[in-house]
Copies of this chain bind each other. A is one copy, B any other.
Amino acid sequence: MGKVITNRDEDYSQWYLDIVKKANLAQNSAVRGCMVIKPYGFAIWERMQRRLDDMFKETGHVNAYFPLFIPKSFLSKEAEHVEGFAKECAVVTHHRLMNDPDGKGVVVDPDARLEEELIVRPTSETIIWNTYRDWINSYRDLPLLINQWANVVRWELRTRPFLRTAEFLWQEGHTAHATSEEAYQEARRMLDVYARFAEEYMAMPVIRGVKTPHERFAGAVETFTIEALMQDGKALQAGTSHFLGQNFAKAFEVKFLDENNQLEYVWATSWGVSTRLIGALIMTHSDDQGLVLPPKLAPHQVVIVPIPKPNDELDAAAARIMEQLRKAGITVKYDQDRKNRPGFKFAEHEMHGIPVRIGLGKRDLEKNQVEIARRDTGEKSFVPMDNVAGYIAQLLEEIQANLFRRAKAFRDAHITRVDDFETFKQVLEEKGGFISAHWDGTTETELKIKELTKATIRCIPLDSEPEEGACVLTGKKSERRVLFAKAY
C-alpha cells in the first residue's frame, strides 16, 4: 500500500481528507455539499447510533418521526430562530416536473407551484412544537421525552466531509415540561449523556460548558455544549443541549393546564449530535498511518491475517480463534485475500484503524502461539493460542483507556491560562488549543477578539471557579475565565 496519506505535520487539512478517502469513510457526491457515507463510515455511525439510542431510552426517551418539510411561515414564528435558520436552506417551490416542450429531458412544471414554499428541515423545533400543541393539554401529558433520528439540510457554503455538509444525519431530542426547573435539568442531563458517550465510547475528552449569548442556538435561553480539542489545536463543538424556556411554546401557542387548573405555556429543551462526531473521532485519535478507532466503536475490533496467505491449516486455526473471540463478544474478521502480501494488508488494516491485528503464521502455529499487534501503539506480543480471547478482551479495554488517556493528556496540555492580549495572540498562533482568559462579558468584546484573532469563546466551563480578573482585551472587570479557541 505504501505511504498514501499526507502527514499531519505537512498539511493537517489534507491529512484529514486523505483519511476520509483512504479509509473508505465518505466521499463527495454529485450534489454540492452532500456526501455519500460509505459502508465503512456508516458502520461507525451505526455503532454510535445504537449506543446513543440505548442511552436515550435508558433515560426515558422514545423515538418518533416528524416531516422532512417545514412550511415557510413556521420558520418566522420564533423571531430569533428565523434569523438563525431561515437563511441558507433548501426551498421546495414546485411539486412536479414535465417533459421539456423544447426537447429532451424534464423541466419544472410552472403550473405545479406550491401555494406556500416548503423548507427542508434545518432543525425541527417549529414543526414539532406545532404538533405538540395537539398532544399537550394538561400537566398529565407532561413531560414529553421524544427523540428523532433524521437527516437535515443547511446550505453551507464551505463544506468538509462529516464536519460541515449541506445534508447531515443526526438525532434531535425535543422535550416538553411543566416547569422551568425540570426543563433546565433535562437539558443538563442530556449534556451529561453526550459527555459520557464522548468520553466512554469515543475516548474523546470533552469540556462541558455554557455558550455565550452570541453563540447560543437561535431561539434558546441557554445552550450547553461539549467541546473537544483536535490534534491541530482547534476546538470542535461535539454536541449541544438547549434550554428553550417558553419561546417555542409561545410561538406555537402550546399551553397546558397545571395542577392548579391554571393555563401555562410549556417549557422546552432540544439537543442534538450528528455525523460530525465521526469527524471528531478521526481528528482525535488518528495518525499518519491512518484511522485509529476506539474498540467500542470499531466495526471490526480484530482482524486475523494469515501469513503469508490463506491455506487449509491457517484457515482452520483462524476459525478456532474466531470462535473463541465471538464467544467473548469480540467482533473479528479474517482476511481471506489471496492476492496481496502481508505487508500490504497490515498497512490497509492500519489505515482502517482496526484496533488489534493477529498475525497467523506457520512457524508460530508450531509453537502454539500468535502474534498480536495493537493499532494505537504499534506494540507486538506473542500470545499462547489458548489464551487469545482472554488476552484480547483485556487488550481492547487497555486500548480504549489508552486512547482516552492520550487524548486527555494532549487536551490538558493545551489549555493555557493567559492574562494579556499579546500572549493570547502568541499562544493562539504558536501553541493553539484552549486559552483560559478573562472576558468582560460583552458580545462586543467577544466579536472584537474574533475579528482580531479568529478565536471564539467556546464555552464558559460548568466547573469554572469564580475569579476576579480583568478582561484580556479591554481590561474591564471580569468574574470568571472562559475558554477561547479557534474552532471547526
Contacts and interface: CB of A to CB of B under 8 A. Distances in A.
Contacts of A34: 67-69
Given A36-B65, A64-B37, A70-B31, A120 B93 contact: no
Interface in A108-136: 108, 117-120, 127, 130-131, 134
Interface stretch (A72-80, A323-331, A346-354): A72-80
A257 to B, nearest CB: 15
Given A89-B97, A91-B92, A94-B93, A42 B68 contact: no
Nearest to A148: B42
A97 B72 contact: yes
A27 B97 CA distance: 28
Contact of A68 (B45, B118, B146, B153): B153
Contacts of A95: 88-91, 155
Contact of A30 (B30, B74, B82, B90): B74
Contacts of A90: 69, 92, 94-95, 118
Contact of A76 (B29, B105, B117, B155): B105
Contacts of A169: 65
Interface string A337-352: 0000000000000000
Contacts of A146: 39
A409 to B, nearest CB: 34
A344 to B, nearest CB: 14
Interface in A130-150: 130-131, 134, 146, 150
Interface string A14-46: 000000000000010111001111110011011
A30 B63 contact: no
Given A69-B167, A71-B30, A131 B92 contact: no
A46 B63 contact: yes
Interface string A369-407: 000000000000000000000000000000000000000
Contacts of A3: none
A35 B96 CA distance: 20
Nearest to A128: B36
A106 B75 contact: yes
The winner among A35, A90, A117 for most chain B CB atoms within 10 A is A90
A263 B45 CA distance: 35
A331 to B, nearest CB: 12
Given A39-B146, A106-B76, A88 B96 contact: yes
Nearest to A146: B39
A108 B91 contact: yes
A457 B35 CA distance: 40
A416 interface: no
Interface of A: 27, 29-31, 34-39, 42-43, 45-46, 62-76, 82, 86-98, 104-106, 108, 117-120, 127, 130-131, 134, 146, 150-151, 153, 155, 167, 169
